[in-house]
Amino acid sequence: MHNMIKNRSQLFVLSKCSRWNVNTFYDCQKTDNSKLGNRQAQLMARGLPKQKPITGVKQIILVASGKGGVGKSTTAVNLSAALKSVEPNKIVGLLDTDVYGPSVPLMMNLHETPLLTRDNMMIPLVNYGLQCMSMGFLVDDRSPVIWRGLMVMSALEKLLRQVAWDAVDYLVVDTPPGTGDTHLSLIQNLPLEGVVLVTTPQAAAVEVTRRGAVMFQRLKVPIIGVVQNMNTVVCPKCHHSLSLYGHGTEALTSELGVDLLQDIPMDPAITETTDQGKPIVVALPNSSQAEAYKTLARKVITFLKKQEVPENKI
Ligand SMILES: Nc1ncnc2c1ncn2[C@@H]1O[C@H](COP(=O)(O)OP(=O)(O)OP(=O)(O)O)[C@@H](O)[C@H]1O
């Protein structure tokens, strides 16, 4: 757990039984931004504007989609688990920035309220070896979040700056669908390594993904590649793979000049494990579905390694 505090009960006492909830959003202290580290220098060396890293995090990867419901959160959760599985020595975090429809609590089976450090930083909840933070940990599970944009931005600021990430190597950031304020705010404020776009191949989904991709390209966020989700169905008896929607994603990736990173079939085991709060990479680690997510993770890692600027070039 967090290196300042060795166990949760000790922390609970130290924080005078304070638990983070939505009411404390507006009266907490500012994050300590003094430890920006080498990363900023690396990004400046790449000619990127001066964004502020997240304390305790080395590399940040966005997972985004144009349309809702295409499997972005499922991909983000399984990508996080797969990064951990492929590189067990690395520390992986998962940040859910979908304030209106957070999925991480359900998909990671985490329903507690985060504890606070002495300086009012939220301690990520941990399951399956992944540090996790979500707006869903801070609001009632069943209540809708009825907030105006400014409140959402304020909540996002807290999620970005008031979480006590503990030496995270890879932070996977699940985003809301579309290309709204949250994306702009993430792009403006964070040194992002790149974005993984998730789409299904129907024309409607591909069209919105294209618009999202152009936004990322214009704002100089590297596109790591595209995950095509739920295009194929594999027959459990004869293992024949049937394509449901055709080649919309290939057309998109060749138009954008980016990689089609992985094809994830539509599979009931993925839905079931997701709904049970255990990503398929954890629930069925040797399955072909888990292997698909691990292949994706390996490609993301290869991309991240290429992004690194050698120390002697800074
Ligand atoms: N490859 C897949 N096979 C089967 N079911 C899947 C697959 N990918 C996602 N699903 C299911 O599709 C539904 C939507 O997935 P998910 O919540 O990840 O989408 P999303 O794009 O993040 O949605 P939102 O726009 O609400 O954030 C979930 O029930 C999930 O279990």
pLDDT value of position 25: 38
Q: How far apart are the C-alpha atoms of 29 and 51, rounded to whole Å?
A: 21
User: Does residue 28 carry a pLDDT above 60?
Assistant: no
pLDDT value of position 131: 98
User: Does residue 188 carry a pLDDT above 60?
Assistant: yes
Q: How far is the CA of 42 from the centre of ligand 1 (A)?
A: 35
Q: Is the CB of 266 under 6 A from ligand 1?
A: yes
pLDDT value of position 312: 57
pLDDT value of position 46: 54
In the structure, what pLDDT confidence band is assigned to residue 9 with cuts at 50, 70 and 90?
very low
Q: Is the CB of 71 under 6 A from ligand 1?
A: yes
Of 33-47, 116-130, 222-236, the least confident: 33-47
Element spanning 281, H or E? helix 280-283
Can you tell me which atom of ligand 1 is nearest the CA of 176? Answer: 27
Q: Is the CB of 80 under 6 A from ligand 1?
A: no
pLDDT value of position 201: 87
pLDDT value of position 154: 87
Can you tell me which atom of ligand 1 is nearest the CA of 77? Answer: 18
Q: Is the CB of 249 under 6 A from ligand 1?
A: no
User: Does residue 20 carry a pLDDT above 50?
Assistant: no
- Atom 19 (ligand 1): residue with closest C-alpha? 71
ipTM metric: 0.98
Q: How far apart are the C-alpha atoms of 33 and 285, rounded to whole Å?
A: 38
pLDDT value of position 308: 73
Q: Is the CB of 103 under 6 A from ligand 1?
A: yes
- Atom 2 (ligand 1): residue with closest C-alpha? 266
3-state secondary structure 79-90: HHHHHHHHCCCC
Q: How far is the CA of 266 from the centre of ligand 1 (A)?
A: 10
Q: What is the mean pLDDT of residues 261-290?
A: 97
Q: What is the mean pLDDT of residues 176-181?
A: 89
Q: How far apart are the C-alpha atoms of 217 and 187, rounded to whole Å?
A: 11
Q: Is the CB of 69 under 6 A from ligand 1?
A: yes
Q: How far is the CA of 243 from the centre of ligand 1 (A)?
A: 18
- Atom 29 (ligand 1): residue with closest C-alpha? 271
Q: Is the CB of 160 under 6 A from ligand 1?
A: no
Q: How far apart are the C-alpha atoms of 36 and 58, rounded to whole Å?
A: 10
Q: Which of 271, 273, 278, 281 has most ligand 1 atoms within 8 Å of CB, for mutation?
A: 271
* The CATH number of the domain covering residues in 8-20+39-309: 3.40.50.300
Can you tell me which atom of ligand 1 is nearest the CA of 76? Answer: 18
- Atom 16 (ligand 1): residue with closest C-alpha? 71
User: Does residue 141 carry a pLDDT above 80?
Assistant: no
Q: Where are the domains of the chain?
A: 8-20+39-309
Give the tens place of pLDDT for each residue, 31-77: 333 344 454 555 555 555 568 999 999 999 999 998 899 999 999 99
pLDDT value of position 85: 98
Q: What is the mean pLDDT of residues 9-21?
A: 39
Buried b (16+ CB within 10 A) or exposed e, 22-40: bebeeeeeebeeeeeeebe
pTM of the model: 0.85
